[in-house]
Amino acid sequence: MKKIKSFWILLVVLLFCFGCTPAVTPSPAPGDVTPGSTTPPEGKDTPAAEPSAAEHTLLDKDAKANAALLPRGFSETSEYVTDAARRDIVMYYAASSSVFSYTDGEKNIVDEAMWAQRLYKEYDIRLHLIRKAPETSLSAQLIAMLADANIDVLSFTPDQLPYAEGMAADLSLLLPDGAEYLNTSMYEKSKKYLMPVGVARSLWYAPSDKGADPLALSRAGAWTMDAFTAFLRERTAAGVKGVEIGELSEFLAAVGRPLLTAEGGAVTAHGQDEIILSLRQSLTRADVYTAGTEEANAPSLASGKLTMRYGAIPYWITNGKRPAVRFAPMPTADANTDGGVIASATVLALPKNGKNSQAALSAAMLFTARFADARHDTLRFEYGMDFEDWKEYFSLCNEHLIVATAPDEISSETLRALLTDVTVRNTRAALSELNASLAAYAARRNERASLWAL
């Protein structure tokens, strides 16, 4: 029996490792301590609800940028802080670059690795961050769990959540309902994941007193695909690039036409020929721009040479001009669908076999809260987002958040060509190729999921 069990474990590991790229080098652990302490705090069953500040700290019109080490509403005596102190907590986090950053009181930029080091120095919270590229993070954490390695906090990208169900512990008995800084809609759906509030992909644009305004149209229920196309054409007629879209499959999901959906761990592929052809007409005629704005001299909102950007942030921070921005939800595909925003934040969870649950949960909550806090400050004080716009964005992230299942690289490239490349002549053949690729990808993911369930 042991040999059979070992065979299945080995098979699952090999399947998840197949095709993985090399992992990113782990970020430095705070101090020179070695992870190992797994004893939970004595006499602690559930944490007190923290922070104890106003119900919606991030909706304070008179808020100032938070330069402190701890998130708003937390103090050194907060139970989330004291519970995590003097514990070695190993946390994997799925990211290829910095997850969040903020400016401290001395005008230094502090990212999550520096923040973890400061937590160790100030509060003896030994949060060891192990960064893994999103492409390898799921398999790396699965391997660690199967090997009974010391791992206290898991991390996933939103599109990985359907495949992470079997790894994550139920938090409903540990975490108070309505805990601040959490995306409430996500928490109510699963009771497993910690997702920071106010973090999502949407459409960003510079406000103008000329022509139609996407957010105003959205408020009036008139932000349709036709209105989206007309807005782009109006701007591109003046010589400005149209829209930068880095994640085309998520864009489709946000207009209510996902290519892939996942329920109960099973992935289903959908043919979206009609909306793809309609969107192709809009994007190819509106001078769509799909390269990342981090490239030198690329059109961007910051330079005034781009009409809209679809993504988690309006534009990459530069040392120069940082114009104010507005956001808009996705245009509606038809009268029966709602425009939404796509989940984009790193999602945290506790492993099912976790031994350090109370301290791990507290550290994960601190990470999630500081992420949300930094996000709020970036949009309001660095990008100049109006407070009323921020409130609407905040609510949209909670009430109309969409978790999209991402396709594989082959499907993504086929979709990109269909939507943005005017040289693609045989669109029906390209659509057939896309649908076949999506179906094959869904079958592969479901096969892996079924093997994991064994």
pLDDT tens for each residue of 82-91: 999 998 999 9
The separation between CA 279 and the C-alpha centre of its own chain, rounded to angstroms, equals 24
Kindly list the distances between the CA atom of residue 17 and the CA atoms of 13, 56, 275, 308, in Å, as whole numbers in the listed order. 6, 42, 35, 38
Question: What is the token pair recorded at 187?
Answer: 């928490």
DSSP 58: G
User: Which token pair is 38?
Assistant: 């797994």
Domains of the chain: 20-197+345-382 (3.40.190.10), 200-343+407-453 (3.40.190.10)
pLDDT tops 60 at residue 58: yes
- Separation of alpha carbons 376 and 218, rounded Å: 22
Higher per-residue confidence, 355 vs 141: 141
DSSP symbol at 150: -
Q: What is the pLDDT of residue 176?
A: 60
Tell me the β-bridge partners of 267: 262
Looking at the DSSP assignment, which residues form a beta bridge with residue 111?
Answer: 101
Given this model, what pLDDT does residue 293 score? 58
For the cut 90, the answer to whether the pLDDT of residue 116 exceeds it is: yes
pLDDT band at 335 (very low <50, low <70, confident <90, very high): low
Here the tokens at position 275 are: 């909306």
Give the model's pLDDT for residue 233: 86
pLDDT above 70 (res 9):
no
pLDDT tens profile 152-187: 999 998 888 877 878 888 887 666 654 678 887 776
Report the alpha-carbon distance of residue 199 to residue 161 in Å, rounded.
16
Q: Which residue has the tokens 């102190």?
A: 85
To the question of pTM greater than 0.75 for the whole model, the response is: yes
According to the per-residue pLDDT averaged within each range, which of 117-131, 193-207, 409-423 is highest? 117-131
Higher pLDDT pick, 148 / 349: 349
CA distance 60 to 193: 26
Which residues of 120-192 form beta strands (DSSP E)?
A: 125-132, 154-156
